[in-house]
Amino acid sequence: MNALFSLEEIRAVEQTALRSLPPGTLMRRAGLAAANLALSLLPASLAERRVLVLAGPGNNGGDALEVAAALSAAAEQVSILLFADPAKQSDDAKQALQRARQSGAHFANTSQAETLLAEPWSLVIDGLFGIGLTRPISGALHELVTRVNRLPCPVLALDIPSGLDADTGNVVGKDQGGTGIRASHTITFIADKPGLHTADGRDHAGAVSVAALDIDPALFPQPRAQLNETALFTHALRPRLHNTHKGSYGDVAVLGGAEGMCGASILAARAAAHCGAGRVLLAFAGPAPAYDSASPELMCRAAQGFDFSKATLVAGPGLSTSREAHDLLAQALHARTPRVLDADALNLLAQEPGLQSRLGAHSRPAILTPHPLEAARLLGTTSAAVQSDRLAAARELAWRFGAVVVLKGSGSVIARPDGFAVINTTGNPALATAGSGDVLSGICGALLAQGWPAWEAALAAVWLHGSAADALVEGGIGPIGLIAGELIPVVRQQLNRFVAVHTPHR
């Protein structure tokens, strides 16, 4: 399990562990773990490998000093910029400073930082600020971080990139000009943190590894969050038997497609068809085309008078927020079928308490897939407030609406009504394109129609959606210019591959 723990939880574990360990033990373990990773990042081809260590005033700075001492003992050429008053350091950090001074590491004058950063470096170690930072990085250190972020060499952050909030993944004080280290790699200590994987986290943390520092696992609480992984949903996969027919795999009805917005509902419908729904029907709020020329298998209908009681509902893509759209959504929610609500269905839900009551009127599975602005409307707040704590927002939505919620964005958050949350690890900026959310809702609908539980359907859909974008970018299609429709056949390919690998064959 790729568990995630909050800052409060990690501090409690750390304090409990420290009571049974000699002073400085965890700091030395952190330093050695980071030094080993640093050695693996240094290019073997260089005759002279130069490491610059940035050490701040707290225990994160102490970790950096331990790394410097260990690298120097390994015969690496190490320079240290110490931004701390030794007299004010903790006892553990003072011991680390003594070891660094006794090593072959060179302590450079911080007033010469600008000149020093102009020199060629093989690796930079970021130990300026750890998980306790509460105010924006400013002044000379702001300029230092800016210069480090321009360096061509790898940057290894200790515990968390300086300037990043460990719980939320936001750069501290970003709206006040705050900044943060953009690391190529992060080694995080004791346990993994949510902030490394969502919001600004993925842009700042790079490749994340965890050093548990030999802390007894029994000291950790039951996790309330984790990273998405295929083991969470592959048990829901089912091989296709020969003796089946289209009715065996469920119907999906996509409610949307107001005049001028048909493309959104067509994308959702195509995704549902390619992900295994037996039949896919389009209920158009606007004029219904005779057929979709690219996918004539889709059945186009007028939404007025459509019977929503026999199909899994995907509502919202291109629906609009008109009175007519409201009435159609109310009719659709009256049906006792699984449902996926996206886009304008969420906007209508936010406007109308009556629709919210209908959503919770029965216990059929429901998945909501808001982006931050849609989430803000549902919560009666701003998108900035949602983004300030994405896990909290997703949990609140899931609890309030009794549904599985996918809060889309970098490191999409999937939350259950009981408060458990998962952060997705697949995907890239190629998904920042019109229609990609419609494709996601169609994938969710197809899996629900085939009998998947809502939780597993949401986890799989988000993982597959992002993984398809990753595969396309790896193949040279994107991230710039990838369009949503290109995701669909790749999602189908990956879903079939999963079924082949994870289900028994007899």
Alpha-carbon distances of 390 from 101, 415, 474, rounded to whole Å: 42, 10, 28
Residue (of 228, 226, 188, 182) closest to 208 by Cα position: 188
Tokens of 117: 């950063």
pLDDT reported for residue 47: 72
State how far the Cα of 29 lies from the Cα of 457, in Å rounded to an integer: 40
Rounded to two decimals, the pTM is: 0.96
Residue-range domain boundaries for the chain: 3-227, 247-500
With a CB cutoff of 8 Å and minimum separation 6, the contacts of 212 are 190, 191
pLDDT tens across the length of the chain (506 residues): 799 999 999 999 999 999 999 999 999 999 999 999 999 999 887 778 999 999 999 999 999 999 999 999 999 999 999 999 999 999 999 999 999 999 989 999 999 999 999 999 999 999 999 998 999 999 999 999 999 999 999 999 999 999 999 999 999 999 999 999 999 999 999 999 999 999 999 999 999 999 999 999 999 999 999 999 999 999 999 999 999 999 999 999 999 999 999 999 999 999 999 999 999 999 999 999 999 889 999 999 999 999 999 999 999 999 999 999 999 999 999 999 999 999 999 999 999 999 998 888 778 899 999 999 999 999 999 999 999 999 999 999 999 999 999 999 999 999 999 999 999 999 999 999 999 999 999 999 999 999 999 999 999 999 999 999 999 999 999 999 999 999 999 999 999 999 998 877 65
Chain centroid to CA 473: 18
Pull the structure tokens for residue 380.
Answer: 């009666």
> What is the domain class of 3-227 according to CATH?
alpha beta
The 10 Å Cβ neighbour count of residue 398 is 24
**SS3 track for 322-382:** CHHHHHHHHHHHHCCCCEEECCHHHHHHHHCHHHHHHHCCCCCCEEECCCHHHHHHHHCCC
Q: Which two tokens stand for residue 239?
A: 């091989």
CATH topology of domain 247-500: UDP-N-acetylmuramoyl-L-alanine:D-glutamate ligase (3.40.1190)
Cα–Cα–Cα angle for 260, 407, 279, nearest 5°? 55
Q: Convert 114-165 into a string of H (helix), E (strand) and C (coil).
A: HHHHCCCCCEEEEECCCCCCCCCCCHHHHHHHHHHCCCCCCEEEECCCCCEC
Longest dimension (CA), the chain: 82
